[in-house]
Structure 1
Amino acid sequence: MAPGRKGRIIKRTIVITLVAVLSLSMEVSGWLITSPEDRPEVSYTTLHSLVPLVFLACAGVAWSIGPAKVPSRLMVAFAVLWIPLTFFHVVENLGWLWPLLYGMHLWWGLIAGLIVLVYPRGWFGDRMDRWIAGIALGSAVIYFFAVVLLIDVPADPATCDCVPNVYQVADLPALYTAVDYGFRGIGAVLALVIAGRLLVRWVRGSVPARTVAFLMPIALFAWAVTLAWYAITYAVKTTADEVMLTISLVAIASIPVSFVAGIAHARNMRARVADLMRITREGADRGLWAESLARTLRDASVRVYWWDEEHGRYADASGEPLEGDAAGQVGQHSLLPVVSPTGIPIALIRHDKVLTDNMRLLDGVSSALRLSVDNGRLRSEIERTLEQVRQSRSRIVEGAEKARRQLERDLHDGAQQQLVSLGMRLRLAANQARDRGVEPLGVELDGTITMLNTALKELRELAHGIHPSLLTSGGLALAVPELAGRCPVPVVVEVQPEGRLPAVVESTAYFVVAEALANIAKHSKATRAWVRANLDERGVLELGVRDNGIGGASPAGSGMVGISDRVDAVDGTITVESPPGAGTTITVRIPLAAAG
């Protein structure tokens, strides 16, 4: 964890802990100092004290995962302003303190309303929200100054036996009563307006809007109703019903829970972008992308328009061009442009307008699409490059094969024939020398003929190593047994290819067997070897070379590397099994299609 982040978490924890201690201290001290006959029920006091603790717990969560810092700070402020009426018995002798607290003891309602107004984006959504917040804040300030400047002691004697208000400048009980009732009435009306707006927005909203704001309307409506009911009972001076008070507390406590649930849901939507990347990791298939994106955002109205460079416009997967405003909004939808790091247009995503409140989600979608397109382009480039390499390698192998055959023919038809002719002429010269009685010259010519025959034999073996003529004329069925016959280790040969194979495949198989038998003769200390070759039903030549030697062959040895290189050049595979003391088995599979 980064030091800066760790420090912020510690500070937040300290703040939340101190506010929790302050809230519990007000609740407990007020309950203890209140006379037993005036104390509220323990169950109600417990529930009342849990409300700010719920707000503080949700503040900690919102601080970590919320889109902005404002909601979490409002939740902390709510806990500070959640002042129980019993607490005024604690400060009733402080004429400079209790008026200030009494002027703010209903401000928790203002804070709760602000929390709802900034839900779920973390800031005000439109001008109406700002007007509501301004009216609520203005009425709260007016109420505060009315309390501080106009009352002597609280109107309800059960609240406290308070000393006179040191800030009072005028004794106008009628004015204060009007402000008091007006403030409570305005609060109830604004709460109902906020709840109604949120509920209507939810009912009329699209599926994404409902999934983001799925709990708050119910919680807020329940609280607004109980608040209005409480304002009415206060106005007619009747005792509040305990059941309704309990419902009100539960509804208030559900507001931060609903807020955190909403932003957690939005965060989970962002997490599903990872699933979107998993689905489209092979590249941006256009139909699949639009379908997967709609499922991820839970927005069936999602459309993806791809940039058509040829026509200079955006079009969907079927080629239908985008109509209307391509720069901003389309009715109840917004357009999210996605561009490459170099500024080249990639796509436009048309989505429900409510998702603009969750820019982190949209940023994740943009990054996912950008990466998916890049993956597709990179994959295509790699596939093209690999195909070019494969074709180039095949051309090199075929060219080398043709060069070997040509060289073998040139040696056979050129140098070998000339040396044979030279030998015949030397033999004729030697015979003539003896006929004329020049025996020393005949002996000298016989020695020269012997040297010539040795050179001719070496030349034939060289030509055979470059490209055996028997392989060209008879294929593996004739060339492999002849090759095995030259090996000093007895070799059992079983070659069953059906007919002739492509020249590249035959040549590769032949030289693999030649290299393997050479390794057996040099290193294996084997007394026997086996060679088999057969063509399976899938058109793959399977070649196996096995010995009963000491094993322990290293795939990194020069001989094995040479075999691997030959096999790789024709898209074949090689497997080497060589446990110490149990011989060596080399299995090679060469697809005939690779030679096509």
Structure 2
Amino acid sequence: MIVGVIAASLAMSIGGYLATPPDERFDPSYATLHAIVPLVFAICAAIAWRLDVAPSAARLMAVFPLLWIPQTIYNVIAPLGWLWPVVRGVDLLWGVLAGVLVLIYPRGTFDDNTDRAIAYSAFAVSAVNFAAVLLLAVPDAVPCDCAPNAYSFLDAPTAFAIIDAGFRLFGGALVVVVAVRMLLRWMRGSVPARTIVFLMPVALLAWATTLAIQVVSYAVDTAFDEVAATISLIAIATIPVCFVAGIAHARNLRARVADLMRITRESADRTLWEESLARTLRDPSVRVYWWDDRDGAYTDAAGEPLDVGDGGGAGMLPITSPSGARLALIRHDLALTDNTRLLDGVSSALRLSVDNGRLRSQVEATLAQVRESRERLVRASLDTRRRIERDLHDGAQQRIVALGLQLRVLADRASAAGEGDLAARAEEAITESGVALRELRELAHGIHPSLLSAGGLALAVPELAGRCPVPTEIDVRVGRLPEVIESTVYFVLSESLANMAKHAKATRSWVSVEVVTMEADVDDGDPEADRADDAEAAVAQSEGEAVRLVVRDDGVGGVDPRGTGILGMADRVEAVGGTFALDSPAGGGTRICVDLPLGAVDPAGDVVAAVPMPEAEPAAAE
């Protein structure tokens, strides 16, 4: 369809130009510019159709080239007395289409009844002019030696001249009215309205000015200035370009909604959302009100309720959940009301942001419950270990010791009585009871070392390292700590030394325990990196203290991080909110680093604090 329109327009321009005598032709540059104007309209119509917005505007642009009839066309149709009056009756209808195109800009529909009245009056006057041309026009009404008008029934050249001049004056005045309305609308409009309209008032005022000059020149029967004519052509060609540019600008606003997705990853931060939305829509008047279920009303980021009279001159966009529950209300400029796709995108982004915030809160609450549950399990395990160790110490160990003493008395009496065989068997029983006692003490020590409870890490770590077959240097610089922290450090160290002795083939190892200050998390502007940092050190509060255990050896390395022992140590550390790091390159030894924060919260909600104690002297042992 567009190709056909362009072909018809070019045929009229080229055919008329060639049919005109050389001495009567327009300047080639002006004739070329005149032919380009309808091509611009046709191309813009194709673009508007491609953008799938404002179909009425696209149709007007497509029809315009057929009504952009060059005056030279009469040299082609002059012999056709039944055709040239019809062409003469519609050859100014393009002005009406251009005016209507301006009136429906940028929505593609009329804004109010005034715009409709202007458009309907223009079509009505055009219909009167068309009838006057058919019934009264004579060949002198067109610049050619045309055949007699086949429809004329009355020879009244004066009446026709008055009607023709009145039609042109009315058209010029109407264009001026449209231009003034557009200019006032642009001046009074908000920022979004002006950014969408932008160049149209300039083009329209240029066209109105040159049209007024043309009307005056026609009325006084003088030549139309070529400069003014050129400006007029350029201004007319700018109208569809401005229309398409406005549509593209509105579409670009919809694309900018994608920027809102950046903040939906976190949650619906109210102040941030309002600022980002205003920046995206380029509308500083945007306000976001959030639904408060408790109060049953909309409130802004500061908690102020929505004033029902605050919506005058603004559009209201309610945001609801898929189930229909109220979420928010966006007050925006009326210029954005008809941009339904833009507003739909904003609604989806905000709805997603609220959902993300709700899910994030639920996940955080669930993780907090998991952390509390894991800490309760650790404490319960610790209590169980202590109770078992106490029961073994006060029960089974005491009985074995008592049994050993009785056997010793029995062996001494048997020896004194000369019962050598009985004395030998008693000695064997004494030896077996001693072995059983040692094994029971080692078992109790493995369940919960009494030395840890009595003296803390400063005493328990050297004793534990002393039982390791690999020579170990230790450096313990801590006093008494919360029991759960001491127990975690001790058993992680015990498992590390046991694994090293079995698999590392190390000749030396080093152990250090100290209290360090955790560095505050620096905001580098990357929310993804910040969340990763928080996940890795969730329990380390900003600039808080933590106990750091480092165990390293000069063994073969290559430890599998998915091994049962490693995973067990990591689980034990994470259960109390710590972090576990393993570095074991093949052939480069193994290094285990554990950080346990001292600001953890116990299940009862009390903050766990280190028990003050004089600084322990650094212990060193192999």
Tell me the TM-score normalised to structure 1 length: 0.89
Aligned residues: 576
Structure 1 residues 423 and 303, CA gap change in structure 2 (3 angstroms): same
Q: Does 1:520 align with 2:526?
A: no
Counterpart of 2:191 (choices 196, 200, 207) is 207
C-alpha separation between the residues in 2 aligned to 1:114 and 1:556? 74
Contact 2:138 2:157 in 1 (8 A): no
Contact 1:120 1:357 in 2 (8 A): no
Q: Does 1:579 align with 2:617?
A: no
Structure 1 residues 96 and 433, CA gap change in structure 2 (3 angstroms): farther
Counterpart of 1:555 (choices 548, 558, 561) is 561
Q: CA deviation at 1:555?
A: 0.9
1:302 alignment partner in structure 2? 286
C-alpha separation between the residues in 2 aligned to 1:442 and 1:370? 89
Counterpart of 2:170 (choices 172, 186, 189) is 186
Deviations 1:178-208 (A, max 9, x none): 4433332332222112112111222222333
Counterpart of 2:129 (choices 143, 161, 167) is 143
Query: After alignment, is 77-86 or 163-172 more displaced?
Result: 163-172
Structure 2: gaps spanning 5 or more residues: 519-544, 602-607, 609-622
Structure 1 residues 166 and 436, CA gap change in structure 2 (3 angstroms): farther
- Letter of the aligned partner of 1:501 in structure 2? L
C-alpha separation between the residues in 2 aligned to 1:97 and 1:299? 53
Q: Does 1:391 align with 2:375?
A: no
**Structure-to-structure mapping, 1:222-237, within 5 angstroms:** 222-237=206-221
Contact 1:535 1:541 in 2 (8 A): yes
Contact 2:168 2:215 in 1 (8 A): yes
- Letter of the aligned partner of 2:184 in structure 1? V
Query: After alignment, is 448-457 or 394-403 more displaced?
Result: 448-457
Q: CA deviation at 1:118?
A: 0.9
Counterpart of 1:494 (choices 467, 470, 475) is 475
Counterpart of 2:267 (choices 283, 289, 293) is 283
C-alpha separation between the residues in 2 aligned to 1:526 and 1:324? 77
Q: Does 1:529 align with 2:509?
A: yes
Deviations 1:480-516 (A, max 9, x none): 222222222222222222x112212211111221222
Q: CA deviation at 1:212?
A: 2.3
Contact 2:264 2:356 in 1 (8 A): no
Q: Secondary structure at the match of 1:588?
A: strand
Structure 1 residues 340 and 451, CA gap change in structure 2 (3 angstroms): same
- Letter of the aligned partner of 1:487 in structure 2? C
Query: After alignment, is 225-234 or 544-553 more displaced?
Result: 225-234
Q: Secondary structure at the match of 1:283?
A: coil
Q: Does 1:421 align with 2:399?
A: no
Q: Secondary structure at the match of 2:330?
A: strand
Counterpart of 2:60 (choices 70, 74, 79) is 74
**Structure-to-structure mapping, 1:107-186, within 5 angstroms:** 107-151=93-137, 153=139, 155-156=141-142, 158=143, 160-166=144-150, 173-174=157-158, 176-186=160-170
Query: After alignment, is 405-414 or 197-206 more displaced?
Result: 197-206
Structure 1 residues 315 and 34, CA gap change in structure 2 (3 angstroms): same
- Letter of the aligned partner of 1:197 in structure 2? R
2:613 alignment partner in structure 1? none
In percent, how many aligned pairs have the same letter? 58
Deviations 1:340-384 (A, max 9, x none): 222222222233333323233333333333223223322222222
Query: After alignment, is 247-256 or 302-311 more displaced?
Result: 302-311
Counterpart of 1:540 (choices 540, 546, 549) is 546
Q: CA deviation at 1:249?
A: 0.6
C-alpha separation between the residues in 2 aligned to 1:324 and 1:590? 54
- Letter of the aligned partner of 2:362 in structure 1? E
Q: CA deviation at 1:116?
A: 0.6
Contact 2:263 2:353 in 1 (8 A): no
Query: After alignment, is 437-446 or 25-34 more displaced?
Result: 437-446
Structure 1 residues 462 and 80, CA gap change in structure 2 (3 angstroms): farther
C-alpha separation between the residues in 1 aligned to 2:43 and 2:494? 77
Q: Does 1:442 align with 2:426?
A: no
Q: Secondary structure at the match of 1:574?
A: strand
1:345 alignment partner in structure 2? 326
Counterpart of 2:485 (choices 505, 510, 516) is 505
Q: Secondary structure at the match of 1:536?
A: strand
Tell me the TM-score normalised to structure 2 length: 0.86
Q: CA deviation at 1:411?
A: 1.4
C-alpha separation between the residues in 1 aligned to 2:217 and 2:550? 97
Q: Does 1:267 align with 2:251?
A: yes
**Root mean square deviation, CA, Å:** 2.5
Structure 1 residues 94 and 449, CA gap change in structure 2 (3 angstroms): farther
- Letter of the aligned partner of 1:319 in structure 2? G
Q: CA deviation at 1:582?
A: 1.6
Query: After alignment, is 298-307 or 510-519 more displaced?
Result: 298-307
Q: Does 1:102 align with 2:88?
A: yes
Q: CA deviation at 1:541?
A: 1.8
Structure 1: gaps spanning 5 or more residues: 1-14
C-alpha separation between the residues in 2 aligned to 1:446 and 1:114? 120
- Letter of the aligned partner of 1:502 in structure 2? P
1:364 alignment partner in structure 2? 345
Q: CA deviation at 1:437?
A: 3.9
Q: Secondary structure at the match of 1:535?
A: strand
Contact 2:264 2:352 in 1 (8 A): no
Structure 1 residues 22 and 466, CA gap change in structure 2 (3 angstroms): farther
Q: Secondary structure at the match of 2:107?
A: coil
- Letter of the aligned partner of 2:268 in structure 1? A
Contact 2:42 2:62 in 1 (8 A): yes
Q: Secondary structure at the match of 1:487?
A: coil
C-alpha separation between the residues in 1 aligned to 2:290 and 2:72? 65
Deviations 1:107-133 (A, max 9, x none): 211211111111111111111111222
1:5 alignment partner in structure 2? none
- Letter of the aligned partner of 2:267 in structure 1? G
